[in-house]
Structure 1
């Protein structure tokens, strides 16, 4: 059999991978900004929470996090469906890395900007949302693009908790046909195609943000 014979099955499974990637990125973006802003300008009692979240999820294996959420949590009375577990694990992991991207971009804004805002009697919240963030977001985009592609590749791990994603179906087909070259070759091409879509979409978004903020690419 050729690669073309496997494509319909693998493309259908790739839709599950794409769904996990998309939803986990939504979770990751929310957590990135929540934790990143807290690290940069949060209250004293919230910062330790953000630091603990970032260090735990950056300092431990994504696979272990995935197994812990899926296999260990039910032992203490809390269980989730496999799909939700995969989305949450990927979102938490990518969000921890994204939080450092947000914090770094916010800290890169020159101190004179803050001094000028204080001179104009702006509140801290007003300074953050109207002055600092609009300048910092374009600086975050290249790093967020890399994290999004990494998140897409990490979706292959959800096959370990019985989610029928692209990797799961590829392994299933390979075991059935023993045709490693064609099956994994088709899978490689599909992952590459999805990565190119993600990169193109984020470059388009980055261009629009740059134009909206008057920043040259």
Structure 2
């Protein structure tokens, strides 16, 4: 599978950094997704508009430029961030903007009749959301969040440009030092595929689960 086992340890170290960054960024993106997604559905006009501006800004500008801004511009104003913290914040903020739309659309897809039924039982709004809306919405979100996680793994390759020794960075370093361009990049492709294959399987499982849930909901 791999063309030069002598070079594999450096690539594997890079893959480990990629996995760590991806895991941290997925957590950050999930937090942002739920905060902004719920703000998009808030009764407060100010919150809704602020969340919309956030989403449009981060979806409408380049992730790479956002990373450069955090890493190179913030220090000019006294805000020093390590490369890894910059990567996690940048990926979390950017991909969280996309994730917020997943949260918003999933919540809005829940049958309003169920919410009304809960309110008729005098359940507080927050309890209704937590006990009735959120559990169903999370099942609907799963496939899309699985795809988002895959996108985050792939997006970690951009952080090589802010000197983080992840998989792409180490691959590029080996290309410079050995000149084995096709073989090394082929190995890098294989490693990314190995990282994302479990996530792809998780997405397929989540899609089946969500499909069964929707079928059961329609049958009620």
Q: Does residue 182 of the first structure (1) align with residue 183 of the second (2)?
A: yes
CA distance in 2, matches of 1:138, 1:195: 21
Summarize deviations over 1:32-63 as a string: whole Å, max 9, x none: 11111111135333222222221111111110
Alignment size in residue pairs: 216
Q: Name the residue aligned to 2:127.
A: 126
Q: Which runs of 5+ in 2 are unaligned?
A: none
Q: Name the residue aligned to 1:95.
A: 96
Matches within 5 A, 1:171-210: 171-201=172-202
Most deviating of 201-210 and 102-111:
201-210
When the two structures are superposed, what TM-score results if normalisation uses the length of structure 1? Answer: 0.91
SS at match of 1:49: helix
Q: Name the residue aligned to 1:142.
A: 143
When the two structures are superposed, what TM-score results if normalisation uses the length of structure 2? Answer: 0.89
Q: Which runs of 5+ in 1 are unaligned?
A: none
Summarize deviations over 1:3-49 as a string: whole Å, max 9, x none: 32322210111101111100000000111111111111353332222
CA RMSD across the alignment: 2.5
Q: Name the residue aligned to 2:40.
A: 39
CA distance in 1, matches of 2:100, 2:61: 16
Matches within 5 A, 1:20-99: 20-99=21-100
Q: Name the residue aligned to 1:13.
A: 14
CA distance in 2, matches of 1:42, 1:53: 17
